């Protein structure tokens, strides 16, 4: 069980670093963000991320 939690932490860390890098690049190069700039857009991205992580715990994988 500890190896699974270590894998989750490493995936979450990579996701966080990648999202911050994309956000920083969008800001530096004056590009539009790849998400709607509204609260609904934030909920949509959070829902997609949660669905991805929860999908890894579904039976049959």
45-56 pLDDT per residue, tens = 788 777 777 777
Side-chain-facing half-sphere of 52: CA atoms under 13 Å: 10
> What's the rounded Cα separation, in Å, for the pair 32 and 54?
29
10-57 pLDDT per residue, tens = 777 887 788 778 778 878 888 776 667 788 878 877 887 777 777 777
CB 24 within 8 A of CB 30: no
The runs of H, that is alpha helices, within the chain are 2-28, 39-55
> What's the rounded Cα separation, in Å, for the pair 49 and 40?
14
């Amino acid at each position: 069980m500890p190896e699974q939690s270590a894998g989750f932490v490493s995936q979450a860390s990579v996701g966080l670093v990648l999202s911050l890098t994309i956000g920083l690049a969008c800001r530096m190069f004056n590009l539009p963000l790849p998400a709607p700039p509204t609260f609904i857009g934030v909920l949509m991205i959070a829902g997609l991320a949660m669905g991805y992580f929860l999908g890894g715990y579904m039976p049959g994988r």
